[in-house]
Chains A and B, each alone.
Chain A
Amino acid sequence: MTDVLNPTAPARTPPRSTGRPVGSCRGALLVLETMWTWYRRNWKATVFSSVGLPVLYLLAMGLGFGSQVHSGVPGGISYLVYIAPALLPAGAIQTAVGECTFPVLPGFAWSKMYFGVSATPITPGQLLFGELLWVGSRLVVSGAAYLLVALAVGAVTGPGILLSLVFGVCAGLALGAPVIALAASVDSDGRAFNAVFRFVVLPMSLFAGTFFPITQLPAWIRPVAWITPMWHGTELARGAEFGTLGIGPALVHLGCLALVFTVGVLLARWRFRVRLTS
């Protein structure tokens, strides 16, 4: 009867909300689903940046530069074949760093999409894992596209290259995790990202074994290559393709990648939580 006396009184109690919290894995998959929704509308803009670069390297260095290289390549294989598997981790790392920097920053700094997500049952940790899943998916797709080109130009010698693809994705995610922690920490201009590309990714791409064995480097600088995820990825990828990978070294290389990844994830989860729930 209060309705008649007071028209602003609530008409009825609302039914219970339809929302419910989601499990950890499901939350990350839902973030992945959002990225997929975005990708279906915008994939064209991403094709060149994620597939183009390793393919250009393969053609320019493998076919072009490789035509001038006749000696010094281990195992008597062509230079094109030599670099083909190594470009998988190199390309994956470049793509991963690209995907973990400028596409992530707006979520915190410009469009602030992540703040929208954190108002839902999704936790910062689920958001982070969803983003990493997305980066991993992108690495698989761009690696597979690269493989098709490599196959077409005769740069592939055996099915082991599929394992090289997997190792490439591992290397990409290993470096992607600390980089996404950085992206969750910087202010809005993203200047730090240029430093990452210039002083981490570029030197790594040139000197971590992609284009020549690091045994060609002066002995004192080799330890620098050893700590790069790209070198571990390169050793794994090349070893898988050429059947030279022992189980022991494989575990050591994977262990190093896992270590970088784990430290990166812990840092990133802390940074996501601090940034989104202050």
Chain B
Amino acid sequence: MTSIAASLVSATGLVKRFGSFTAVDGIDIDVRPGEAFGFLGPNGAGKSSTMRMVACVSPRSAGDLRVLGMDPDLDGPAIRARIGVVPQSDILDNELTVRQNLQVYGRYFGLSRAHVRAKATELLAFAQLTERGDDPVEPLSGGMKRRLTIARSLVNDPELLLLDEPTTGLDPQARHLLWDRLFRLKQDGVTLIITTHYMDEAEQLCDRLVVMDGGRIVAGGTPAELISRYATREVLELRFVPGEQAAALTKVRTLTERIEELPDRLLLYTANGEDTLAAAHHAGVRPQSSLVRRSTLEDVFLRLTGRSLVD
């Protein structure tokens, strides 16, 4: 089992404070070689602060942290040399060409000119940007810039790749292309740490994830484990015409053990959605529309924090 192998990233009681504000409030994590590890949580949960500490660009306020077996406070440059970072927003040099962005960045990792030239050509192909290699960065689309940022983070063949909300703001096609590229990296044995507030992304990409809220880890496990532990197999969603939801709630309250009340709909957690829907009809509930679906990490999150992920 891979769990025997040494951790790539391990944190114990990790804390990040900014003045009197505590962004990360004593978390423990343990990322194993070759896995895709996710931080799921809403904006402000402490995901990015954690990532910046792991990326050795933000000193921890308390606790212990080891990345690639080293201490970021002491060996920052040596750790950064071996990891790749995809920040939340694309930090590209708009006044250089696509290819130059890769080459210039690669040089910072102590790589020779010949090496970064060859690597840039390889990464342009990986990011499907070969035809745009000698164009300036500025006219590229959002998806292309994102792919270039990811390509650039790979210039040193990192053992660990940190991706902070890699697909935020991208259209579905661009997201799927990126996911495909991340799968390939994982196949090559690169360890991925991903933050996201998209459940589908977490379910697609992550072997294991932790749910963060208010700077703390509120749950952790594989996506399937989390769903089976914190949600039922199915969810019945009921939508009502405005004003009728409150009356309906009193009628369905006894049907399932757990009900979430959202502003625009009721979520009934049940082992069998169709049966519950029939029971609701029987109880005289007449929703405007209904939907039976599988539970997702969104439901897990709702259960753990009482809030939706994306507001």
* Chain A residues near B (Cβ < 8 Å): 8-22, 26-27, 30, 33-34, 37-38, 41-42, 111-113, 115-123, 276-278
Chain A CB within 8 A of B159 CB: yes
Contact of B91 with A19 in the complex, beta carbons under 8 Å: no
Contact of A123 with B156 in the complex, beta carbons under 8 Å: no
Kindly identify which residue among B57, B109, B188 contacts A19, using a CB–CB cutoff of 8 Å.
Answer: B109
Compute the total of residue contacts between A and B using a CB distance below 8 Å.
125
Say whether, besides A19-B82, A277-B58, A14 and B190 are in contact (CB < 8 Å). yes
- Interface 0/1 of B67-108, CB less than 8 Å to A: 000000000111011110101010111111100100111011
Question: Which residue of chain B has the shortest Cβ distance to A278 in the bound complex?
Answer: B58
5 closest Cβ contacts across the A-B interface? A19-B156, A10-B34, A19-B109, A116-B91, A120-B108
Enumerate 19 A-B pairs (CB-CB under 8 Å) in ascending A order.
Answer: A10-B34, A13-B189, A14-B188, A14-B190, A17-B81, A19-B81, A19-B158, A20-B78, A20-B81, A22-B109, A27-B108, A34-B93, A37-B96, A41-B97, A112-B89, A115-B87, A116-B91, A118-B57, A121-B110
Question: Which residue of chain A has the shortest Cβ distance to B83 in the bound complex?
Answer: A17
Contact of B108 with A16 in the complex, beta carbons under 8 Å: no
Kindly identify which residue among B33, B85, B111, B186 contacts A119, using a CB–CB cutoff of 8 Å.
Answer: B85
Contact of B187 with A120 in the complex, beta carbons under 8 Å: no
Chain A CB within 8 A of B59 CB: yes
* Chain B residues near A (Cβ < 8 Å): 2, 18, 33-35, 55, 57-59, 76-78, 80-83, 85, 87, 89, 91-97, 100, 103-105, 107-111, 115, 156-159, 186-190, 207
Chain B residues positioned under 8 Å from A8 (CB to CB): 186, 207
Contact of A15 with B107 in the complex, beta carbons under 8 Å: no
Say whether, besides A14-B157, A113-B91, A113-B93, A121 and B186 are in contact (CB < 8 Å). no
Say whether, besides A12-B189, A16-B82, A37 and B159 are in contact (CB < 8 Å). no
Contact of B156 with A38 in the complex, beta carbons under 8 Å: no
Residue among B77, B156, B158, B207 with the highest chain A CB neighbour number at 10 A: B77
Residue among B78, B107, B158 with the highest chain A CB neighbour number at 10 A: B107
Instruction: Beyond the given A14-B189, A21-B80, please list 16 additional residue pairs across the A-B interface where CB-CB is below 8 A.
Output: A8-B207, A10-B2, A16-B82, A18-B109, A19-B81, A19-B82, A19-B157, A27-B108, A33-B104, A33-B107, A38-B95, A42-B95, A111-B92, A112-B89, A115-B87, A276-B57
Q: In the assembled complex, how far is the CB of residue A36 from the closest CB belonging to chain B, in whole angstroms?
A: 10
Q: A10–B188 Cα gap in the complex (Å)?
A: 7
Contact of B109 with A11 in the complex, beta carbons under 8 Å: no
Say whether, besides A119-B55, A278-B18, A18 and B96 are in contact (CB < 8 Å). no
Kindly identify which residue among A19, A33, A38, A121 contacts B93, using a CB–CB cutoff of 8 Å.
Answer: A38
Q: In the assembled complex, how far is the CB of residue B152 from the closest CB belonging to chain A, in whole angstroms?
A: 8
Q: In the assembled complex, how far is the CB of residue A133 from the closest CB belonging to chain B, in whole angstroms?
A: 15
